[in-house]
């Protein structure tokens, strides 16, 4: 029962702040609302018992990416001013794009949830198991994707330095 109550509280928080994040006129407030959404998601992971995912969600999204977002917003011109409403044609395009995204994600989630239908139990996964999973070369282990991502990040860093050096 307690789990259900916490789930509903988190769900309401996530929904309300997601809506606020996109409807808010001030960009810095949007960022703050988005932060609450990310923290709520972390709460859901904790509720499911995925401790590692919970900590990573907070460290990477709330503590890392949101800090960079807010930093970037503070460095832009006037973060406190209301964002001007875009032209109607743009709004229509944006609406269509988001609808398409919703349909795509919804389709994937619907099919996968139908396929599994029961959440697999992985509450007791230890960091040691996770490390072997990430660094292993056997079947269903992730060394290659892991290294690919690190190359991608390296490329991003080099690119950022190139952009910064141009001035």
Taking CB under 8 A as the binding criterion, the range among 55-63, 90-98, 102-110, 111-119 that sits at the site for another protein is: 55-63
- Interaction between residue 79 and another protein (CB under 8 A): yes
d(CA 69, CA 141): 33
Q: What mask of x and - would describe binding to another protein in positions 12 to 41, judged by CB under 8 A?
A: --------------x-xx--x--x---x--
Q: Which two tokens stand for residue 95?
A: 């609406």
How many residues interact with another protein (rule CB under 8 A)?
A: 28
Least separation in angstroms between residue 48's CB and another protein is: 14
d(CA 62, CA 65): 6
- Interaction between residue 51 and another protein (CB under 8 A): yes
d(CA 53, CA 65): 16
* For helices 143-165 and 127-135, angle between their N-to-C axes, nearest 10 degrees: 80
**Secondary element (H or E) of residue 71:** helix 66-75
- Interaction between residue 122 and another protein (CB under 8 A): no
**HEC string for 7-21:** HHHHHHHHHHHHHHH
When binding is defined by CB under 8 A, the residue of 3, 80, 137, 140 that contacts another protein is 80
When binding is defined by CB under 8 A, the residue of 8, 63, 92, 112 that contacts another protein is 63
Phi-psi region for residue 5, left (φ > 0), alpha (ψ -120 to 50) or beta?
A: alpha
Choice between 60 and 108, CB closer to another protein: 60
Note the residues at the interface with another protein (CB under 8 A).
1-2, 26, 28-29, 32, 35, 39, 51-52, 54-56, 58-59, 62-64, 66-67, 70-71, 74, 79-80, 126-128
């Amino acid at each position: 029962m307690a789990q259900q109550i916490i789930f509903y509280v988190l769900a309401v928080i996530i929904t309300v702040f997601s809506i606020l994040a996109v409807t808010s006129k001030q960009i810095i407030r949007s960022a703050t609302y988005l932060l609450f959404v990310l923290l709520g998601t972390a709460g859901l992971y904790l509720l499911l018992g995925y401790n590692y995912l919970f900590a990573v969600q907070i460290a990477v999204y709330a503590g890392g990416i949101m800090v960079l977002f807010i930093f970037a917003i503070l460095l832009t011109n006037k973060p406190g001013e209301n964002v001007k409403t875009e032209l109607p044609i743009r709004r229509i395009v944006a609406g269509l794009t988001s609808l398409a995204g919703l349909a795509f994600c919804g389709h994937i989630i619907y099919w996968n949830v139908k396929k599994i239908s029961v959440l697999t139990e992985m509450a007791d996964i230890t960091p040691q198991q996770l490390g072997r999973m990430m660094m292993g070369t056997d079947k269903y282990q992730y060394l290659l994707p892991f290294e690919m991502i690190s190359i991608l990040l390296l490329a991003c860093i080099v690119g950022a330095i190139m952009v910064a050096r141009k001035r």
